[in-house]
Structure 1
């Protein structure tokens, strides 16, 4: 094996890490928004990712059976639909359960864990216990070869572009929209935000729903790199919380940096080690860094 081969393999592993980075970042963005503003530990966040994945699968099946001539165009529309369905589900969950448990973090953790188990059982009952995969459009298949021996999958590039777009929209909304102004005011000082007329309860509900909607988009991205089952989302929930904790709660820049670091470390380590050992190495590095800097990479100072 030549140095060129090793370099190409490292680049391809790095790009595989970018696909994992995209899913972790989209999951982490939703969690960072929810946890940063509301202090809610949502253990059902992974199931909103699964909802997004199943929306893509069902859209694929319906399009293939009833409108096969639209197979090349259904995927972007289905991504928007995944966001809407997960957004509505998040809105309903906040209204029915979460709003009654604010300032009770342990109760919220246990309640959302119960919701997670209930949703997984619903997936098994109404969709099926087996993993499923959508039929992807032809333009998402194949790879791009910029050099001999270097193949970059097109679906990975699409997922990365989608992640950049969503991250940019979230940043734009947080710093340029009325909703973002209310979120930042609530995070900075909830009591003062209430005093100046901001409906923080309504802001909380909208924020929770948007975070869940972003998880739905993460599920849509996930369908391009893996199959979906009832427990697919729960496999990513621990990594997503690590992304938020490692980056620093309420810091979107920290979420981006930690998602990239975790994904790249794990992907490149998996080439040289087994999957489980790569996971152990990644977790060990995170633990060591958090021992040195427990507030995370980019901690935000906020008043409650």
Structure 2
């Protein structure tokens, strides 16, 4: 059960961190509003649920299969517009990007308060996700967590195949390694930037949808995971999606284990200290890609 709790936390961190790894690792953009994109996905899921409850209550059991792609599309579209109209003016200016996106996160939080209110909103759980799976006597695994783990695996594999087995993924990797040369051979680097940022935003939307299955949503929901997600990306190694996944697993399992042994706040402090020690000896991250000089 302790291992399963760690895997449950791992899924949320991984969904958030994959989007950050794409935007931060592949594009070099420090997006402090990534957590608010997660909240946007959560609110999109909430709107989907109340729409089904009002206009198609007989289909409420299946609203989640509409909410997941809807949350992705809403945040994907917002991310595309955001990159084209805002982010692209801050490339190669990391400090300015950090401050600008932090200001954007505050604007989005206030927007959520104005539209949805400051109080928390909850999404009804589909009946088929109620209860638990009992693989053996004394071990009960909540069906919601099992579903989330399966969804995370599908998303992670899909992103990996997209970046490594498609022409668009090849363009992304080419632009990452040598932007000037990629542009010289005919790759539209601006289009690659916009779609890459939009993909990272869409993944944050899916993370928000998943979050509604385990907790209530409020305007500050995204702030719960943004710091941990950045730690996962940096600890795993920038530009390494595999490193991001392994880092998320190690941090999630370590946190749940330490929380079981000591208090939650001390667990976070201990993990942060361990990350600092590792980065002191390996500044590029524990699982960073090796490159030839």
Q: Please classify the TM superposition score into its range, dividing by the shorter chain length.
A: over 0.9
Determine helix, strand or coil for the equivalent of 2:214: coil
Partner of 1:188: 177
User: CA offset at residue 300 of structure 1?
Assistant: 2.5
1:287 aligns with 2:276: yes
Secondary structure at 1:297 match in 2: coil
Cα deviation 1:184-204 (Å, max 9, x = unaligned): 101111111111011111100
Could you say what secondary structure the match of 1:280 adopts?
Answer: helix
Q: Which residue among 123, 129, 138 is the counterpart of 1:149?
A: 138
CA distance in 2, matches of 1:287, 1:297: 11
TM-score between both structures, scaled by the size of structure 2: 0.97
Report if the CA contact (8 A) 1:82-1:213 is conserved: yes
Return the alpha-carbon distance in structure 2 between the equivalents of residues 93 and 294 of structure 1.
31
Match of 1:200 among 189, 204, 215: 189
- Residue 250 (structure 2) aligns with: 261
* Number of aligned residues: 292
What is the alpha-carbon root mean square deviation over aligned residues?
1.2
**Partners of 1:176 and 1:219 in 2: CA distance:** 27
Q: Provide the residue aligned with 1:119 in structure 2.
A: 108
Query: Residue 30 of structure 2 aligns to a residue in which SS?
Result: coil
**1:37 Cα deviation from its structure 2 partner:** 2.1
Q: How does 1:199-218 map to 2 (within 5 A)?
A: 199-218=188-207
Instruction: List alignment gaps of at least 5 residues for structure 1.
Output: 1-11
Match of 2:88 in 1: 99
Check the 8 A contact 2:122/2:212 in 1, yes or no.
Answer: yes
Q: Does 1:57 align with 2:57?
A: no
Determine whether 1:296 maps to 2:285. yes
Q: Please state how far the C-alpha of 1:299 moved relative to its aligned partner.
A: 1.4
Structure 1 residues 302, 93: closer, same or farther in 2, change over 3 A? farther
| CA drift at 1:282 | 1.4
Contact 1:187 1:302 in 2 (8 A): no
Q: Which residue of 2 aligns with 1:228?
A: 217
Distance 1:218 1:301 in 2: 29
Q: Deviations over 1:73-114 (max 9, x none)?
A: 110111000000000110111111101111111111000000
TM-aligned CA deviation for residue 301 of structure 1: 4.9
Contact 1:75 1:136 in 2 (8 A): no
Quick one: which of 31, 38, 59 aligns to 2:27?
A: 38
Cα offset for 1:302? 6.4
Partner SS state of residue 152, structure 1 = strand
Map of 1:133 onto structure 2: 122
SS at match of 2:119: coil
TM-score, normalised via structure 1 length: 0.94
Post-superposition offset of 1:61: 1.1
Q: Deviations over 1:97-133 (max 9, x none)?
A: 1011111111110000000000000000101101111
Deviation of 1:13 after TM superposition, in Å, equals 2.3
SS at match of 1:72: helix
**1:6-25 to 2 correspondence within 5 Å?**
12-25=1-14
2:37 to 36, 44, 48: 48
| SS of residue in 2 equivalent to 1:228 | coil
Match of 1:9 in 2: none
Alignment-derived partner of residue 272 in structure 1: 261
Contact 1:87 1:212 in 2 (8 A): yes
Q: Which residue of 1 aligns with 2:155?
A: 166
Match of 2:239 among 250, 266, 290: 250
